[in-house]
Amino acid sequence: MKRDYPTRPIVGVGVVVLRGDRVLLVRRGTPPGLGEWSLPGGAQQLGETVYEAARREVLEETGLEVEVLGMVDVVDSIQRDAAGRPQYHYTLVDIFAESLEGEPEARDDAAEVAWAALDALAPLKLWSETERVIRLAHEMWSLIGEKPSRQ
């Protein structure tokens, strides 16, 4: 299905990848959001679970392998053209994950990647929903605490 002017919403994943007090961000190399900072992610493929899509998208865009920890929220992203028709419509399942090692590199449709400090997100001018989801994921991640597998 084509992504602009779709006949139905497209299911996508956004992945809040945390490492300490930093979050992994990508600068979009393709529309929608060309040139903007966002979470790694993209469209779910047929036959793929949401968590599989999350791991695949992060790997494709940044080269990092992640451990998925859970779901944060579901967000609708609807961008309309000048006539008011939905040009893009994504139902985004936001996942949170952590990456324990390795450094990201821009791949696939990511023009740039960076770890951003949670207290330094404002200058990046993220979509308000993205920033909200990042903060919610960090709260959830903090509540999990040290996992038994790491003791």
Q: Which of 78, 76, 79, 45 is nearest to 60 (CA)?
A: 45
Superfamily of domain 10-150: Nucleoside Triphosphate Pyrophosphohydrolase (3.90.79.10)
Using the 8-state DSSP alphabet, how is residue 127 labeled?
-
**Mean pLDDT score across all residues of the chain:** 92
Catalytic residue (choose from 112, 129, 139, 146): 112
Distance CA 74, CA 14 (A): 9
- In this structure, the number of other CB atoms found within 10 A of the CB of residue 99 comes to 19
Q: Write the pLDDT tens digit of every residue in 104-151.
A: 999 998 999 999 999 999 999 999 999 999 999 999 988 886 454 433
Sign of CA dihedral 106, 39, 8, 56: positive
* Higher pLDDT among residues 32 and 93, named by residue: 93
Q: Is 112 a catalytic residue?
A: yes
If pLDDT is split at 50, 70 and 90, which confidence band does 100 have? confident
The region of weakest confidence among 47-51, 57-61, 108-112 is 108-112
